Chain A
Amino acid sequence: MKTIALVEDNPDNRMLVATLLEDLYTVREYEDGAEAMEGLVKEIPDLVLLDISLPKMSGQEVLAAIRNNSELKALPVVALTAHAMDGDREEFLAQGFDAYVAKPILDEEDLFRVIRVLLEGGDSLA
């Protein structure tokens, strides 16, 4: 079973995503960026789901830290964002995220499709 790291400060959202994924993936949960960076280097996951609006370290800062770490830099990182504007999408991809999923997650198919593509290759996400 592949491992997904979930970085999200809202406990309800953590529960939501973990519950959706737990049958198919091993989910490791982190509350903030610092905790995540510490955990990611210890056990490198197969994919990172990263909330954008985190306290202390923002999602972009966490992404930068991942990309600057030689062991982690190739990890697929998906932005979880409440800013569901179409323009944002391009911006997030431009910032170096591999994909993005808008909250609220009303239709989990989108989340699953994104994860499947990034982990197994296949359809383009563009």
Chain B
Amino acid sequence: MTSISKARERLRSRYLDGIPAKVGVLRQALRPLRTGTDADAAKSIRRLAHQISGSAASFGFADLGELARATEQAEDDKLVDCTEALSTLLESILESHSSPTSFILVIDDDPAIYDLVASSIIAPGRVIRHASSLAAAKVLIDSRDWQLILLDLVLPDGDGRDLLTALRSSPRTEDIPIVVLSAKGSALVKNECAAYGTEAYMEKPLDLEVVPGVVSSALERSKYLVRDAYEDSLTGMSNRVGFRKVFIHALAAARRQRQELAVALIDLDHFKRFNDSFGHEVGDRVLAVAGKVLRDALRDSDVIGRWGGEEFVVALPNTSAQGAAQALATVASRLSETAIEETEGQTITFSCGVITMNDDEELDQGLVRADQLLYAAKRNGRNQILHTLPAADPQKPRILVAEDDPVLARLILRELAKDYEVTHAADGEQAIALATENTNFDMVLLDFNMPKVDGLGVLKALREQHAYKTRPILMLTAVSSDQIIEQAFNAGADDYIVKPYSRRALLARLRRHLLPAT
């Protein structure tokens, strides 16, 4: 008797083990059927539906058997709907009988992509949900914690990168591993996604061989994130989330006490060379050593975090930018004296940008300014600390870029830094103030969506000023809707650039508009 009831237990788990393969077959067959007729696909669905309808009830899944029978007998025009329902029921049976360990959200308006992804990654313990619009995704994201998000960039109600920004700016979601699915292959878009800390970038058409591995490794990382929510395991210092948490208090204290708060962004020089020449383990050692030297050389009251990759961030309370630069110079000299055996005497150096926080400024905006300095230090030959921008090169055209998204702003500023003198405005109000204060910008780039005054408002305000009546003003937009573009032209825009843009196209566009002036 006992062996019989044990057998019953085994039955259910064996049936559940077989569900992923069934879902795989159904979802694979669905893909060609969604766009047309495919006799082979229909045949494989009916064959499997027959198998399920003849057996599901014996395993205690009578409803599944019923639905399978309906699918087997469905007219061709109902087959997709029935198959979809059958697959969904199988997926939910698997979910409800296995204790879920990872919740995975696929955001893509193309159901075929969901078919493909779900069929290749379904497994016991994984709950896979689908959202076909930004709006639907937001509801689902709010509803629970997710271990992985697969995100398409082109969605019917907006740009996937807007969601990326939103996810990254909320402490609850900022460390969810995100895999970007997109046909958009420009280097700038990839860099942009990488700058948001996305896990991977998979180009469509998706490679079925690659998807399961990418998903598994992203889920692995998500487990590790749960363990160390605030700490970077390699260096033992705060990670991005942890740093933000402590920084908020440091900033509040500085404002309360009317003291300066310096922020330094540090990037190890030629870090890739360490990895490439000596392997990742040595690269990790270099990071750990750099972290330790930072910790040892700075004051206990200084807040240190690993921002990502080979980038560190430090907040120094009650310190001027100049004072912070001096403190970091000490770090630099100690680091260059620290030898790591495996690197054959190669010294570790870094480039650094230092700022002090302005009133009413958030960390992200401060970091945009620090990054501008950091990038200038890199361009200037690396191994240096800058707290003021080098004197403007009068030969270079001056551009005002108003972009509120800090990640995007950092990228655009980096793209333009080589050829232009770039000033950044974090919102529309600041853009108007900067343009009014300094009327010699040769060109203005305005993001459409900005807080306080939006891009269109800034455009109208500038066109009323004598200095900007005929100056080139270009709009940056995430959506190329005719209505928006028409509005921009009516308000006097010279051109518009739809994000994402390739770096070369962006620079060519700017050159064209600057041509008459130069």
Is A15 a contact of B15 with CB atoms below 8 Å? yes
Q: Chain B 29-64 against A: per-residue CB contact (8 Å), 1 yes, 0 no?
A: 000000000000000000000111011111110100
Cβ of A74 under 8 Å from chain B? no
Q: How far, in angstroms, from A109 to B10 measured CA to CA in the complex?
A: 16
Is B59 a contact of A12 with CB atoms below 8 Å? yes
Q: How far, in angstroms, from A103 to B53 measured CA to CA in the complex?
A: 11
From B1-9, B70-78, B214-222, B417-425, the one touching the partner chain is B1-9
Find chain B residues with CB under 8 A from A103 CB.
54-55, 57-58
Set B4, B7, B18: member contacting A12, Cβ < 8 A: B18
Is B58 a contact of A19 with CB atoms below 8 Å? no
From A20-28, A58-66, A117-125, the one touching the partner chain is A20-28
Is A20 a contact of B4 with CB atoms below 8 Å? yes
Find chain A residues with CB under 8 A from B10 CB.
19
Is B4 a contact of A104 with CB atoms below 8 Å? no
Contacts A103-B54, A104-B58; A12 near B15 (Cβ below 8 A) = yes
Find chain B residues with CB under 8 A from A106 CB.
57-58, 60
Find chain B residues with CB under 8 A from A15 CB.
11, 14-15, 18
Is B52 a contact of A12 with CB atoms below 8 Å? yes
- In A3-32, the 8 Å CB interface with B consists of 10-13, 15-16, 19-24
Q: How far, in angstroms, from A107 to B18 measured CA to CA in the complex?
A: 22
Cβ of A88 under 8 Å from chain B? no
Among B10, B52, B59, find the residue whose CB has the most chain A CB atoms closer than 10 A: B59
Find chain A residues with CB under 8 A from B8 CB.
20, 108
Find chain B residues with CB under 8 A from A21 CB.
7
- B58 and chain A: residue at smallest CB distance: A104
Is B11 a contact of A24 with CB atoms below 8 Å? no
Please give the number of chain B residues whose Cβ is less than 8 angstroms from any Cβ of chain A in the complex: 22
Q: How far, in angstroms, from A72 to B62 measured CA to CA in the complex?
A: 37
Chain A, interface size category, equals 20 to 34
**Consensus secondary structure, chain A interface:** helix
Is B7 a contact of A13 with CB atoms below 8 Å? no
Find chain A residues with CB under 8 A from B56 CB.
12
Is A13 a contact of B54 with CB atoms below 8 Å? yes
Contacts A15-B18, A19-B10; A24 near B55 (Cβ below 8 A) = no
Set B7, B51, B54, B58: member contacting A22, Cβ < 8 A: B7
Q: How far, in angstroms, from A109 to B8 measured CA to CA in the complex?
A: 11
Find chain B residues with CB under 8 A from A44 CB.
none
Cβ of A82 under 8 Å from chain B? yes
Find chain A residues with CB under 8 A from B59 CB.
12, 16
Find chain A residues with CB under 8 A from B54 CB.
10, 12-13, 82, 103
Find chain B residues with CB under 8 A from A104 CB.
55, 57-58, 62, 65
Set B4, B55, B62: member contacting A16, Cβ < 8 A: B55
Find chain B residues with CB under 8 A from A22 CB.
7
Q: How far, in angstroms, from A22 to B6 measured CA to CA in the complex?
A: 11
Cβ of A105 under 8 Å from chain B? yes
Is B7 a contact of A19 with CB atoms below 8 Å? yes
Q: Chain A 88-126 against B: per-residue CB contact (8 Å), 1 yes, 0 no?
A: 000000000000000111101100100000000000000
- B2 and chain A: residue at smallest CB distance: A23
What are 17 A-B pairs at a CB distance below 8 A? A10-B54, A11-B51, A12-B51, A12-B54, A12-B55, A12-B59, A13-B54, A13-B58, A15-B18, A16-B55, A20-B7, A103-B54, A104-B62, A104-B65, A105-B58, A106-B57, A108-B8
